[in-house]
């Protein structure tokens, strides 16, 4: 059975990396080339989870981009911020939303998801739920989140071991995360 990663597990991944490596990962994700990259959208209240999510995605072949410390982003929200975010989302190949209870409170997360949906369509978008337990769906409090595939941990048919995968719950199908990121 597919499981969501817990917030505690993402924090552990980041903690195991150490402070210096976590900072390096975040700097790299903010300054990388957009071509072939994956845009990681998240609530600023989930900053402690971001490095863990980046590490998991990068371990499966992603080149992750995050906007929060992008040196080109204006220091204050403006029309330039919105235009730059639209450009970044459009130029990356995939869009992943680190979905948590905090996502609903964010002013930018739903906006970024809407932009991504408009330019990428649902096939290039996946939610990466971060829950309090492996089966908790508190992050899914917006009904439209059901439109998108989810990144989960579990067994795929014909696989001996559990793997990270992107699951389409509507059609009951799944793709190994590394293959989805490359497609």
* pLDDT tens column, 128-181: 999 888 777 767 667 888 899 999 998 877 778 899 999 998 888 999 999 999
* pLDDT tens column, 29-73: 767 788 889 999 999 999 889 999 999 999 999 999 988 777 788
Question: Which stretches of the chain are DSSP H helices?
Answer: 7-17, 19-31, 47-58, 79-91, 109-120, 177-182
pLDDT for the residue numbered 28: 80
- Given a cut of 90, whether residue 125 has pLDDT beyond it is yes
Return the exposure string of 153-168: e unless at least 16 CB atoms fall within 10 Å of the residue's CB, then b.
bbebeeeeeebbbbbe
Q: How far apart are CA 151 and CA 156, in angstroms?
A: 13
Domain ranges of the chain: 5-182
* pLDDT tens column, 65-115: 988 777 788 888 889 989 999 999 999 999 999 999 888 888 899 999 999
pLDDT for the residue numbered 101: 87
Compute the half-sphere exposure of residue 68: CA atoms within 13 Å on the CB side of its CA.
18
- Give the chain's largest Cα–Cα span: 50
pLDDT for the residue numbered 62: 96
pLDDT for the residue numbered 149: 95
Which CATH number is correct for 5-182, 2.60.120, 3.40.50, 1.10.1740, 3.40.30?
A: 3.40.50
Average of pLDDT values for 8-19? 88
């Amino acid at each position: 059975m597919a499981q969501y990663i817990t917030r505690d597990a993402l924090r552990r991944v980041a903690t195991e990396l150490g402070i210096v490596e976590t900072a390096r990962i975040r700097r790299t994700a903010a300054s990388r080339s957009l071509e072939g990259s994956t845009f990681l959208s998240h609530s600023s209240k989930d900053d402690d989870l971001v490095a863990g999510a980046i590490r998991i995605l990068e371990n499966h072949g992603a080149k992750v981009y995050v906007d929060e410390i992008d040196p080109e982003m204006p220091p204050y929200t403006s029309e330039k911020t919105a235009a730059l975010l639209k450009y970044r989302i459009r130029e990356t190949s995939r869009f992943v939303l680190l979905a948590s209870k905090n996502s609903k409170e964010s002013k930018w997360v739903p906006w970024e998801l809407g932009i991504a949906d408009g330019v990428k369509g649902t096939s290039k978008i996946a939610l990466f739920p971060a829950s309090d337990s492996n089966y908790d769906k508190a992050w899914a409090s917006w009904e439209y989140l059901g439109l998108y595939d989810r990144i989960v941990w579990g067994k795929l048919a014909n696989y001996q071991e559990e793997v990270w995968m992107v699951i389409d719950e509507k059609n009951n199908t799944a793709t190994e995360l590394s293959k989805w990121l490359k497609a």
